[in-house]
Amino acid sequence: MVKQTVLIAGLGLIGGSLALSIRETKEVRLIGYDSNYSTLEYAKMNKIVDDVYNDFTEAVVQADICILAAPVSVTVDLINILNKLTFKKSIIVTDVGSVKGPIMDVASKLDSPNIAFIGGHPMAGSHKKGIQAAKKHLFENAIYVLSPTDSSTEEDLERLQALLTPTKSKFIILEPDEHDEMTSVISHFPHLIASSLVHQARNWQKTHPYIHKLAAGGFRDITRIASSNPLMWRDIFFQNRSKMSRLMDDWIEEMKQLKNLIDTGEKTQIEKYLEQAREYRDGLDSGKQGAIPSYYDVYVDIFDQPGAILKVIELLANHDISINNIEILEIREGITGVLRLSFQNENDQKLSQAVLKKNHYDTVIEE
Ligand SMILES: NC(=O)c1ccc[n+]([C@@H]2O[C@H](COP(=O)([O-])OP(=O)(O)OC[C@H]3O[C@@H](n4cnc5c(N)ncnc54)[C@H](O)[C@@H]3O)[C@@H](O)[C@H]2O)c1
Ligand SMILES: O=C(O)C(=O)C[C@]1(C(=O)O)C=C[C@@H](O)C=C1
């Protein structure tokens, strides 16, 4: 059987992670393009792809499927380059950009009958960047948005989904504008707020030099994403600027109303506001609501002792239970901390709790 050639253009966190999961498919020849030489060297040395290229044109003309995984503005430039090339065989082109509008606009101008364009966006990532942060399991259980266009057929969509099957993500089809509206609310705007909270703390530090010592779980949880890649996020904010601007107006209005409730001592209203927020937030993780995948978490109390985390991991590994994700929620010197262990399914979650309880760990599963 002739192997299909798949090009990943942009071998960073997302491109590298896709490569790591797609390369499991043995009938694919995986090639990578990036403008960064050390990234290409790393990808080649670690066998993340079969071959690397520093020339987009040379790579893309060989491909049967091309995944554009560079920053959004670079993705737009790469699609413009595609429009200047001649494709002798058919090619499916997709992208992973966090904003779809500008990418789909430029893709709609592709005039080669051999190019089938399908927009894409895996709704998973991290605050890290670059190929070194890439992970095979990054997209497991995540929503993967696809936006087919007039240039793509049902068969192209099926071929692309088949290629992406090893990611174990869940596909949904969305119109680009609907996508950009929803992601502005649930992903882009929260990043801006996280950064603004960090700025606020930083300003207060000028008059309260020890303020950062008080940054405990709450501040850390809500601002984790402020540690993200500034170049990527600058690109996202500007590519989705009109929607971001509207959300800022909404937010400022809401803050004014909240300020009024605080200033006038409306305790009942504030409690109601907090209660409604809590209900919606709790619903996100329950697995019952919308497109957000459910996580099967177990919270474990551990002591701050060398090897404490390793012991928990070993215990579960000895029972053949694989952990999807581990997060240290709070650990302070000499005091108990909390580990959040996430599992693939309810069975593993319940089994882990039973194993840990038997070994005298205090555990909680949130209902
Ligand atoms: N990070 C996330 O959480 C996340 C999640 C989903 C989608 N995305 C989208 O994925 C895309 C990539 O983001 P990332 O997090 O992998 O970023 P990254 O910085 O880790 O990777 C980007 C890669 O693109 C390469 N690149 C930059 N300019 C280039 C050029 N002109 N030609 C070729 N390669 C170039 C970089 O060298 C780097 O390897 C973005 O469009 C982003 O919106 C990101
Ligand atoms: O987990 C994170 O750090 C992310 O920011 C991932 C995240 C998000 O959830 O907002 C960021 C950008 C993407 O386009 C998709 C996912």
Going by pLDDT thresholds of 50, 70 and 90, the confidence category of residue 222 is very high
Q: If you compute the radius of gyration of the chain from its CA atoms, what whole number of angstroms results?
A: 23
Centre a 10 Å sphere on the Cβ of residue 226 and count the other Cβ atoms it contains.
19
Examine the pLDDT at 246 and tell me if it is beyond 60: yes
Task: Give me the pLDDT at residue 118, please.
Answer: 98
Give the model's pLDDT for residue 295. 65
Q: Output phi, psi for 8, to 5 deg.
A: -110, 115
Please report, for residues 37, 181, 245, 297, the alpha-carbon distance to residue 184 in angstroms, rounded to integers and kept in the order given.
33, 5, 10, 27
Q: How far is the CA of 183 from the centre of ligand 2 (A)?
A: 9
pLDDT for 347: 86
Instruction: Give tens-digit pLDDT for 274-303.
Output: 999 999 998 886 654 334 445 688 888 887
Q: What distance, in Å, lies between the first and last C-alpha atoms of the chain?
A: 50
Residue, of 217 and 257, whose pLDDT is higher: 257
Q: Per residue in 37-66, pLDDT tens?
A: 999 999 999 999 999 999 999 999 999 999
Is the pLDDT reported for residue 345 higher than 60?
yes
Distance 239 CA to ligand 1 centre (A): 14
Alpha-carbon distance of 35 to 68, in angstroms, equals 13
Is the Cβ atom of 152 under 6 angstroms away from ligand 2? no
Model pLDDT for residues 78-133, shown as the tens digit of each residue:
999 999 999 999 999 999 999 999 999 999 999 999 999 999 999 999 888 999 99
Answer yes or no: CATH 3.30.2130.10 is held by domain 296-364. Answer: yes
Q: How confident is the model at residue 337 (pLDDT cuts 50, 70, 90)?
A: confident
Q: Which atom of ligand 2 is nearest to 186's Cα?
A: 10
Helix axes 13-22, 154-164, angle to 10 degrees: 90
Q: What is the rounded distance in angstroms from the CA atom of residue 5 to the CA atom of residue 64?
A: 5
What is the arithmetic mean of pLDDT over 304-323? 87
Distance 257 CA to ligand 1 centre (A): 38
CATH among 3.40.50.2000, 1.10.3660.10, 3.40.50.720, 2.40.50.140 for 178-263 = 1.10.3660.10
Q: What is the pLDDT of residue 340?
A: 85
Q: Is the CB of 127 under 6 A from ligand 2?
A: yes
Dihedrals phi, psi of 179, to nearest 5 degrees: -60, -50
Sheet holding 115-122, edge to edge: 51-53, 28-33, 4-9, 65-68, 91-95, 115-122, 143-148, 170-173
How sure is the predictor about 330, in pLDDT bands with cuts at 50, 70 and 90? low
* Pairing relationship of beta strands 4-9 and 65-68 according to DSSP bridges: parallel
d(CA 327, CA 289): 23
Helix (H, G, I), strand (E, B) or coil at 262: helix
Residue 62: predicted pLDDT: 96
Counting ligand 2 atoms within 8 A of each CB, the residue from 138, 223, 225 with the most, and so the one to mutate, is 225
Assigned token pair, 335? 């005091």
Mutating to test ligand 1, I would choose from 21, 34, 186 the residue with most ligand atoms within 8 A of its C-beta, which is 34
Q: Mean pLDDT lowest for which of 19-28, 211-220, 228-237, 319-328?
A: 319-328
- Region of poorest pLDDT, from 101-115, 311-325, 335-349: 335-349
Query: What separation in Å is there between the alpha carbon of 356 and the centre of ligand 1?
Result: 39
Order of strands, sheet of 363-364, starting from the edge strand that comes earlier in the sequence: 323-330, 336-343, 296-303, 363-364
Residue closest by Cα to atom 32 of ligand 1 = 35
Distance 123 CA to ligand 2 centre (A): 6
Q: Residue 39, SS3?
A: helix
- From 96, 123, 193, 284, the mutation candidate for ligand 2 (largest count of ligand atoms within 8 A of CB) is 123
**Closest to 342 measured CA to CA, from 306, 360, 366, 319:** 366
- Return the pLDDT at 336: 62
Question: What integer pLDDT is reported at residue 307 of this predicted model?
Answer: 85
Give the pTM: 0.84
Q: Where are the domains of the chain?
A: 4-174, 178-263, 296-364
Q: Which CATH number fits domain 4-174: 3.40.50.720, 1.10.730.10, 3.40.50.261, 1.10.3860.10?
A: 3.40.50.720
> How far lies 215's CA from each of 118, 223, 302, in Å?
43, 10, 21
Task: Provide the 10 A C-beta neighbour count for residue 102.
Answer: 20
| DSSP per-residue codes, 236-247 | HHHHTHHHHHHH
> Range with the lowest mean pLDDT among 33-47, 126-140, 169-183, 338-352?
338-352
Higher-confidence position of 307 and 352: 352
Q: Decide the pairing of beta strands 323-330 and 143-148.
A: unpaired
Distance 249 CA to ligand 1 centre (A): 29
For position 306, what pLDDT does the model report? Answer: 75
Q: Is 102 helix (H, G, I), strand (E, B) or coil?
A: helix
> Which residues are near ligand 1 (CB < 6 Å)?
10-15, 34-36, 39, 69-72, 74-75, 96-98, 121-122, 125-126, 129-130, 229, 232, 236
pLDDT of residue 367: 63
Residue 162 has pLDDT above 70, yes or no: yes
149-158, 194-203, 253-262, 303-312, range with the lowest pLDDT: 303-312
Residues above pLDDT 70, as percent of the chain: 94
Least confident of 34-38, 44-48, 305-309: 305-309
Separation CA 75–CA 95 (nearest Å): 7
Tokens standing for residue 44: 């080649």
What are the beta bridge partners of residue 148? 118
pLDDT in the model for residue 81: 98
